[in-house]
Amino acid sequence: MILNGKILSEKRLELLTEEIKESGIRPCLATVLVGDDPASHMYVRMKHKACEKVGITSVGAELPVEATTAEVLAAVEKFNKDPKVSGILVQLPLPPQVDTQAVIDAVSPEKDVDGFHPTSIGRLYSGHPKLVPCTPQGIMTMLAEHGIELAGKNAVVVGRSVDVGRPMAALLLNADATVTICHSKTQNLPAIMQQADILVSGIGKARFVTPEMVKEGAVVIDVGINHDENGKLCGDVDFDAVVEKASAITPVPGGVGPMTIATLMENTLKAAQAMSCNPAQ
Ligand code: NAP
Protein backbone atom coordinates (compact mmCIF):
# COMPACT_ATOMS: atom_id res chain seq x y z
CA MET A 1 0.00 0.00 0.00
CA ILE A 2 1.40 3.39 -1.00
CA LEU A 3 0.37 6.02 1.55
CA ASN A 4 -0.44 8.95 -0.74
CA GLY A 5 -0.16 12.14 1.31
CA LYS A 6 -0.99 14.38 -1.63
CA ILE A 7 -4.48 12.93 -2.14
CA LEU A 8 -5.17 12.66 1.59
CA SER A 9 -4.03 16.23 2.31
CA GLU A 10 -6.27 17.56 -0.47
CA LYS A 11 -9.21 15.69 1.04
CA ARG A 12 -8.39 17.08 4.51
CA LEU A 13 -8.08 20.62 3.15
CA GLU A 14 -11.48 20.34 1.42
CA LEU A 15 -13.09 19.17 4.68
CA LEU A 16 -11.34 21.95 6.56
CA THR A 17 -12.63 24.58 4.09
CA GLU A 18 -16.20 23.40 4.77
CA GLU A 19 -15.62 23.31 8.53
CA ILE A 20 -14.25 26.85 8.56
CA LYS A 21 -17.13 28.10 6.42
CA GLU A 22 -19.71 26.52 8.71
CA SER A 23 -17.99 27.47 11.99
CA GLY A 24 -18.36 31.22 11.56
CA ILE A 25 -14.85 31.50 13.05
CA ARG A 26 -12.23 33.52 11.18
CA PRO A 27 -8.87 31.89 11.93
CA CYS A 28 -5.78 33.94 11.18
CA LEU A 29 -2.22 32.66 10.82
CA ALA A 30 0.67 35.08 11.42
CA THR A 31 4.10 34.19 10.06
CA VAL A 32 7.44 35.62 11.14
CA LEU A 33 10.15 35.39 8.50
CA VAL A 34 13.71 36.59 9.13
CA GLY A 35 16.34 36.96 6.42
CA ASP A 36 16.38 36.08 2.76
CA ASP A 37 16.87 32.33 2.59
CA PRO A 38 14.99 31.32 -0.61
CA ALA A 39 13.74 28.01 0.86
CA SER A 40 12.28 29.78 3.94
CA HIS A 41 10.59 32.36 1.68
CA MET A 42 9.14 29.55 -0.43
CA TYR A 43 7.82 27.68 2.64
CA VAL A 44 6.17 30.82 4.00
CA ARG A 45 4.60 31.57 0.60
CA MET A 46 3.24 27.99 0.46
CA LYS A 47 1.74 28.39 3.93
CA HIS A 48 0.02 31.69 3.02
CA LYS A 49 -1.29 30.08 -0.18
CA ALA A 50 -2.71 27.12 1.77
CA CYS A 51 -4.40 29.57 4.16
CA GLU A 52 -6.04 31.37 1.25
CA LYS A 53 -7.26 28.04 -0.17
CA VAL A 54 -9.09 27.01 3.02
CA GLY A 55 -10.40 30.42 4.15
CA ILE A 56 -7.82 31.27 6.81
CA THR A 57 -6.63 34.88 6.83
CA SER A 58 -2.88 35.29 6.97
CA VAL A 59 -0.52 38.08 7.88
CA GLY A 60 3.25 38.16 7.89
CA ALA A 61 6.14 40.03 9.45
CA GLU A 62 9.36 40.09 7.44
CA LEU A 63 12.59 41.10 9.12
CA PRO A 64 16.03 41.65 7.58
CA VAL A 65 18.80 39.06 7.91
CA GLU A 66 20.61 41.26 10.48
CA ALA A 67 17.55 41.43 12.80
CA THR A 68 18.32 41.11 16.51
CA THR A 69 16.67 38.75 19.00
CA ALA A 70 14.85 41.77 20.50
CA GLU A 71 13.40 42.71 17.10
CA VAL A 72 12.17 39.18 16.42
CA LEU A 73 10.70 38.98 19.94
CA ALA A 74 8.89 42.28 19.31
CA ALA A 75 7.31 40.87 16.12
CA VAL A 76 6.14 37.78 18.02
CA GLU A 77 4.80 39.90 20.88
CA LYS A 78 2.78 42.03 18.49
CA PHE A 79 1.03 38.90 17.17
CA ASN A 80 0.63 37.48 20.71
CA LYS A 81 -1.33 40.61 21.63
CA ASP A 82 -3.41 40.80 18.45
CA PRO A 83 -6.80 39.20 19.20
CA LYS A 84 -7.42 38.62 15.49
CA VAL A 85 -4.35 36.33 15.25
CA SER A 86 -5.08 32.72 16.23
CA GLY A 87 -1.81 31.06 15.21
CA ILE A 88 1.82 32.19 15.07
CA LEU A 89 4.49 30.46 13.03
CA VAL A 90 8.14 31.50 13.22
CA GLN A 91 9.88 30.14 10.12
CA LEU A 92 13.03 28.28 11.14
CA PRO A 93 15.99 28.34 10.95
CA LEU A 94 16.58 31.86 12.25
CA PRO A 95 19.89 33.64 11.52
CA PRO A 96 22.67 32.64 13.97
CA GLN A 97 22.65 35.91 15.97
CA VAL A 98 19.00 35.33 16.95
CA ASP A 99 18.31 33.29 20.10
CA THR A 100 15.96 30.72 18.54
CA GLN A 101 14.88 29.14 21.84
CA ALA A 102 14.01 32.57 23.30
CA VAL A 103 11.82 33.23 20.26
CA ILE A 104 10.08 29.83 20.53
CA ASP A 105 9.54 30.42 24.26
CA ALA A 106 7.96 33.82 23.52
CA VAL A 107 5.15 32.47 21.32
CA SER A 108 1.91 32.33 23.29
CA PRO A 109 1.20 28.60 23.89
CA GLU A 110 -2.42 29.21 22.81
CA LYS A 111 -1.17 30.38 19.40
CA ASP A 112 1.69 27.86 19.09
CA VAL A 113 0.52 26.16 15.87
CA ASP A 114 3.99 24.68 15.29
CA GLY A 115 3.83 22.94 18.68
CA PHE A 116 7.43 23.80 19.58
CA HIS A 117 6.76 25.78 22.78
CA PRO A 118 7.85 23.97 25.96
CA THR A 119 4.22 23.99 27.15
CA SER A 120 3.10 22.22 23.96
CA ILE A 121 5.96 19.71 24.25
CA GLY A 122 5.20 19.08 27.94
CA ARG A 123 1.51 18.53 27.20
CA LEU A 124 2.39 16.07 24.42
CA TYR A 125 4.84 14.13 26.60
CA SER A 126 2.44 14.00 29.54
CA GLY A 127 -0.18 12.47 27.26
CA HIS A 128 -2.43 15.55 27.11
CA PRO A 129 -1.54 17.19 23.81
CA LYS A 130 -3.16 20.34 22.50
CA LEU A 131 -1.12 21.77 19.63
CA VAL A 132 1.26 19.15 18.23
CA PRO A 133 4.13 19.63 15.71
CA CYS A 134 2.64 19.40 12.24
CA THR A 135 4.86 16.77 10.59
CA PRO A 136 4.40 13.99 13.17
CA GLN A 137 0.72 14.89 13.67
CA GLY A 138 0.24 14.64 9.89
CA ILE A 139 1.83 11.19 9.97
CA MET A 140 -0.57 10.09 12.73
CA THR A 141 -3.49 11.30 10.61
CA MET A 142 -2.16 9.30 7.68
CA LEU A 143 -1.78 6.13 9.76
CA ALA A 144 -5.28 6.53 11.22
CA GLU A 145 -6.88 7.22 7.82
CA HIS A 146 -5.38 3.99 6.48
CA GLY A 147 -6.55 2.00 9.50
CA ILE A 148 -2.99 1.12 10.57
CA GLU A 149 -3.09 -0.35 14.07
CA LEU A 150 -0.44 1.01 16.48
CA ALA A 151 -1.31 -0.42 19.89
CA GLY A 152 1.25 -2.99 21.01
CA LYS A 153 3.36 -2.57 17.85
CA ASN A 154 7.11 -2.06 17.88
CA ALA A 155 7.77 1.44 16.57
CA VAL A 156 11.28 2.64 15.78
CA VAL A 157 11.85 6.34 15.15
CA VAL A 158 15.21 7.23 13.59
CA GLY A 159 16.04 10.87 14.40
CA ARG A 160 15.47 12.82 17.64
CA SER A 161 14.87 16.40 16.50
CA VAL A 162 12.33 18.64 18.24
CA ASP A 163 10.25 19.01 15.08
CA VAL A 164 10.22 15.38 13.91
CA GLY A 165 11.74 12.53 15.97
CA ARG A 166 10.85 13.45 19.54
CA PRO A 167 7.21 14.42 18.98
CA MET A 168 6.76 11.44 16.64
CA ALA A 169 7.95 9.10 19.38
CA ALA A 170 5.64 10.74 21.94
CA LEU A 171 2.62 10.44 19.64
CA LEU A 172 3.34 6.76 18.96
CA LEU A 173 3.77 6.13 22.69
CA ASN A 174 0.49 7.93 23.40
CA ALA A 175 -1.07 5.56 20.83
CA ASP A 176 0.20 2.57 22.85
CA ALA A 177 3.06 1.55 20.58
CA THR A 178 6.34 0.34 22.15
CA VAL A 179 8.76 3.01 21.00
CA THR A 180 12.52 3.08 20.42
CA ILE A 181 14.22 6.35 19.45
CA CYS A 182 17.48 6.09 17.48
CA HIS A 183 20.01 8.75 16.52
CA SER A 184 23.51 9.20 15.15
CA LYS A 185 25.15 7.60 18.23
CA THR A 186 22.89 4.53 18.27
CA GLN A 187 24.79 1.26 18.09
CA ASN A 188 23.58 -1.63 15.95
CA LEU A 189 21.08 0.63 14.23
CA PRO A 190 20.14 -1.84 11.42
CA ALA A 191 19.39 -4.57 14.01
CA ILE A 192 17.07 -2.22 15.92
CA MET A 193 15.37 -1.04 12.73
CA GLN A 194 14.76 -4.67 11.70
CA GLN A 195 12.55 -5.08 14.80
CA ALA A 196 10.19 -2.32 13.72
CA ASP A 197 6.57 -2.98 12.79
CA ILE A 198 6.36 0.80 12.26
CA LEU A 199 9.57 2.42 11.05
CA VAL A 200 9.80 6.22 10.85
CA SER A 201 12.93 7.77 9.36
CA GLY A 202 13.64 11.47 9.83
CA ILE A 203 17.38 11.84 9.47
CA GLY A 204 17.95 13.71 6.21
CA LYS A 205 20.20 11.20 4.41
CA ALA A 206 19.35 10.20 0.85
CA ARG A 207 18.23 6.55 0.50
CA PHE A 208 19.86 5.61 3.85
CA VAL A 209 17.20 2.99 4.67
CA THR A 210 17.79 -0.16 2.63
CA PRO A 211 15.77 -3.43 2.56
CA GLU A 212 18.17 -5.21 4.96
CA MET A 213 17.09 -2.72 7.67
CA VAL A 214 13.39 -3.34 7.17
CA LYS A 215 11.27 -6.16 8.58
CA GLU A 216 9.03 -7.98 6.10
CA GLY A 217 5.58 -6.33 6.21
CA ALA A 218 6.69 -3.21 8.13
CA VAL A 219 4.96 0.15 7.74
CA VAL A 220 7.67 2.57 6.53
CA ILE A 221 7.26 6.31 6.96
CA ASP A 222 9.82 8.48 5.19
CA VAL A 223 10.11 12.03 6.55
CA GLY A 224 13.38 12.88 4.81
CA ILE A 225 13.63 15.48 2.07
CA ASN A 226 16.96 15.06 0.31
CA HIS A 227 18.62 15.40 -3.05
CA ASP A 228 20.64 12.48 -4.38
CA GLU A 229 23.98 12.75 -6.18
CA ASN A 230 22.11 13.61 -9.41
CA GLY A 231 20.12 16.36 -7.72
CA LYS A 232 16.92 14.29 -7.73
CA LEU A 233 14.52 14.80 -4.82
CA CYS A 234 14.34 11.69 -2.63
CA GLY A 235 13.62 10.58 0.91
CA ASP A 236 15.66 8.75 3.56
CA VAL A 237 14.34 5.45 2.24
CA ASP A 238 15.51 3.59 -0.86
CA PHE A 239 11.88 3.50 -2.01
CA ASP A 240 12.23 1.26 -5.10
CA ALA A 241 13.96 -1.47 -3.09
CA VAL A 242 12.05 -1.16 0.21
CA VAL A 243 8.59 -1.02 -1.42
CA GLU A 244 8.88 -4.78 -2.09
CA LYS A 245 9.22 -5.52 1.62
CA ALA A 246 6.93 -2.98 3.27
CA SER A 247 3.21 -3.52 3.80
CA ALA A 248 2.73 0.26 3.55
CA ILE A 249 5.14 3.04 2.61
CA THR A 250 5.14 6.78 1.99
CA PRO A 251 6.71 8.11 -1.23
CA VAL A 252 8.90 11.21 -1.48
CA PRO A 253 7.63 13.53 -2.80
CA GLY A 254 3.89 13.17 -2.20
CA GLY A 255 3.95 11.41 1.18
CA VAL A 256 4.58 13.11 4.51
CA GLY A 257 5.31 16.61 3.09
CA PRO A 258 1.77 17.56 1.99
CA MET A 259 0.34 16.28 5.29
CA THR A 260 2.54 18.75 7.19
CA ILE A 261 0.95 21.80 5.62
CA ALA A 262 -2.59 20.40 5.92
CA THR A 263 -1.93 19.83 9.63
CA LEU A 264 -0.71 23.41 10.04
CA MET A 265 -4.07 24.57 8.70
CA GLU A 266 -5.89 22.19 11.07
CA ASN A 267 -3.81 23.45 14.02
CA THR A 268 -4.66 27.06 13.12
CA LEU A 269 -8.40 26.29 13.18
CA LYS A 270 -7.97 24.36 16.45
CA ALA A 271 -6.22 27.37 18.04
CA ALA A 272 -8.94 29.72 16.75
CA GLN A 273 -11.68 27.46 18.11
CA ALA A 274 -10.01 27.37 21.55
CA MET A 275 -9.70 31.18 21.50
CA SER A 276 -13.34 31.62 20.55
CA CYS A 277 -14.32 29.46 23.56
CA ASN A 278 -12.08 31.56 25.79
CA PRO A 279 -11.78 35.04 24.22
CA ALA A 280 -9.70 36.34 27.19
CA GLN A 281 -6.74 34.53 25.62
P1 NAP B 1 17.72 17.31 12.12
O2 NAP B 1 17.30 18.31 13.13
O3 NAP B 1 19.00 17.50 11.38
O4 NAP B 1 17.75 15.88 12.84
C5 NAP B 1 18.25 14.75 12.20
C6 NAP B 1 18.25 13.59 13.18
O7 NAP B 1 18.73 12.44 12.49
C8 NAP B 1 19.17 13.81 14.40
O9 NAP B 1 18.53 13.38 15.56
C10 NAP B 1 20.40 12.94 14.07
O11 NAP B 1 21.00 12.38 15.21
C12 NAP B 1 19.76 11.82 13.26
N13 NAP B 1 20.73 11.21 12.36
C14 NAP B 1 21.50 11.82 11.43
N15 NAP B 1 22.26 10.91 10.79
C16 NAP B 1 21.98 9.71 11.33
C17 NAP B 1 22.45 8.39 11.10
N18 NAP B 1 23.36 8.11 10.17
N19 NAP B 1 21.91 7.41 11.83
C20 NAP B 1 20.98 7.66 12.77
N21 NAP B 1 20.50 8.89 13.03
C22 NAP B 1 21.00 9.90 12.33
O23 NAP B 1 16.64 17.14 10.99
P24 NAP B 1 15.02 17.22 11.05
O25 NAP B 1 14.58 18.63 11.12
O26 NAP B 1 14.51 16.25 12.05
O27 NAP B 1 14.68 16.68 9.61
C28 NAP B 1 15.02 15.37 9.20
C29 NAP B 1 14.66 15.20 7.74
O30 NAP B 1 13.26 15.36 7.59
C31 NAP B 1 15.30 16.22 6.80
O32 NAP B 1 15.54 15.61 5.55
C33 NAP B 1 14.21 17.28 6.65
O34 NAP B 1 14.31 17.98 5.43
C35 NAP B 1 12.99 16.41 6.68
N36 NAP B 1 11.76 17.09 7.13
C37 NAP B 1 10.65 16.88 6.38
C38 NAP B 1 9.46 17.45 6.77
C39 NAP B 1 8.24 17.18 5.95
O40 NAP B 1 7.26 17.87 6.09
N41 NAP B 1 8.27 16.18 5.08
C42 NAP B 1 9.39 18.24 7.92
C43 NAP B 1 10.54 18.40 8.69
C44 NAP B 1 11.73 17.81 8.29
P45 NAP B 1 21.75 13.27 16.36
O46 NAP B 1 20.62 13.88 17.17
O47 NAP B 1 22.54 12.30 17.11
O48 NAP B 1 22.53 14.31 15.62
- CATH topology identical between 23-111 and 134-257: yes
**Does ligand 1 have an atom closer than 6 angstroms to the CB of 161?**
yes
First to last CA, the chain: 44
The rounded mean pLDDT for the chain is 97
* Residue-level pLDDT at 280: 53
What residue segments make up the domains of the chain, in order of their start?
23-111, 134-257
245 is catalytic: no
Catalytic residue among 112, 114, 163, 238: 114
Whether 242 has a pLDDT exceeding 80, the answer reads: yes
Query: Over pLDDT 90: what percentage of the chain?
Result: 98
Average pLDDT over residues 128-148: 98
The distance of Cα 147 from the centroid of its chain, to the nearest Å, equals 20
Is 90 exceeded by the pLDDT of residue 281?
no
CA pair distance 234, 52, nearest whole angstrom: 29
The DSSP symbol for 91 reads: P
In this structure, the chain runs to a length of: 281
pLDDT tens profile 31-84? 999 999 999 999 999 999 999 999 999 999 999 999 999 999 999 999 999 999
- If one residue of 157, 225, 250 were mutated to test the ligand 1 pocket, choosing by the most ligand atoms within 8 A of its CB, it would be 225
- Ramachandran region, residue 237 (left: φ > 0; alpha: ψ -120 to 50; beta: rest): beta
170-225, pLDDT tens digit by residue? 999 999 999 999 999 999 999 999 999 999 999 999 999 999 999 999 999 999 99
- pTM of the full structure: 0.97
Among 6, 11, 81, 91, the active-site one is 91
**Residue type at position 246:** A
CATH class of 23-111: alpha beta
At 119 the pLDDT is: 98
Q: pLDDT tens, 117-132?
A: 999 999 999 999 999 9
Q: Quick check: 200 and 232 in contact, CB under 8 A?
A: no
Predicted local distance difference test score (pLDDT) of residue 227: 95
Q: Is residue 164 within 6 Å of ligand 1 at its C-beta?
A: yes
pLDDT value for 279: 61
Could you please state the CATH topology (level 3) that the domain comprising 134-257 is classified under.
Rossmann fold (3.40.50)
| Residue 114 among the catalytic residues | yes
Write the single-letter amino acid at 257: G
Q: Using the mean position of ligand 1's atoms as its centre, give its distance from the Cα of residue 141 in Å.
A: 21
- Using CA positions, which residue lies closest to atom 31 of ligand 1? 204
The reply to whether ligand 1 has any atom less than 6 angstroms from the CB of 126 is: no
Q: In the prediction, which pLDDT does 21 show?
A: 95
Alpha-carbon span 142 to 163, nearest angstrom:
17
130 among known catalytic residues: no
Q: Whose CA is nearest to atom 8 of ligand 1?
A: 159
